[in-house]
Amino acid sequence: MPDPGRLKHIATLEWDALEADIRNCRACVLCEQRKQAVPGVGDREADWMLVGEGPGREEDQRGEPFVGQAGRLLDNMLAALALQRGANVYIANAVKCRPPHNRTPEAAEIGSCLPYLERQIELVKPRLLLALGRPAAQALLNTEISISRARGRTFDYKGIPVVVSYHPAYLLRNPQDKGKAWADLCFARKVMQQGS
Ligand code: URA
């Protein structure tokens, strides 16, 4: 059951307090096996906000999102758009604690963590949200979607356009789809340019 007091509290937090709250969070079972929570990284006033699924082993150890193999691919994709983490890009995850054995986070875990993502989005005020993979899209759009069917369209999160693409870990397993992910990034750039 959502705790209305917790939701209200999170909705008032500024960056440092928000990150501290995330690091101390015990709202779902994912806290039990984490080394540390991984709040997010990047430019807190970014136009681009990327949302992944959840920390993996390396992220859990280092406390930063997308620092493993999938992260290197993501950085390369951003570089191809002349973007880099920390410069007009903020990166967060749908869940802030590593799911054991990198399993997909449960809907209830995504729901428990959602107030943090919502507050991060409210603080960053990005011009575009890029959802990487199904759990991220599910968190932002509150609905089950198929990535292959949702690509190339824009969705709405509280007035901010949302573009959906494949998760970089999926692309490592399915390199034949990298071209589609590149097309998605170009589509996102076009959406961003149209909005300016
Ligand atoms: N995969 C994610 O979704 N997020 C990370 O931070 C790392 C891998």
pLDDT of residue 3: 87
For 81-129, the pLDDT digits (tens) are: 999 999 999 999 999 999 999 999 999 999 999 999 999 999 999 999 9
The domain of 106 spans 4-194
For 36-69, the pLDDT digits (tens) are: 999 999 999 999 999 999 999 999 999 999 999 9
Quote the ligand 1 centre to 165 CA distance (angstroms).
14
Cα separation, 183 vs 56, whole angstroms? 26
pLDDT of residue 196: 65
Nearest CA to ligand 1 atom 7: 66
- Judged against a pLDDT cut of 90, whether residue 165 lies above it is answered with yes
Give the count of domains, the chain.
Answer: 1
The kind and range of the H/E element at 98 are none
Provide the whole-model pTM.
Answer: 0.97
| Structure tokens given for 145 | 């979607």
| Residue closest to 42 by CA, chosen among 29, 52, 57 | 52
Quote the ligand 1 centre to 12 CA distance (angstroms).
26
Q: What number does the ligand 1 atom closest to the CA of 136 have?
A: 3
* Alpha helices (H) in 49-133, listed in sequence order: 57-62, 69-80, 107-124
Mutational pocket test of ligand 1: of 78, 167, 173, the residue with most ligand atoms within 8 Å of the beta carbon: 167
- Judged against a pLDDT cut of 80, whether residue 1 lies above it is answered with no
For 140-164, the pLDDT digits (tens) are: 999 989 999 999 999 999 999 999 9
Q: What is the CATH number of the domain that holds 72?
A: 3.40.470.10
Separation of CA 145 from chain center: 16
Q: What number does the ligand 1 atom closest to the CA of 91 have?
A: 6
Nearest CA to ligand 1 atom 6: 65
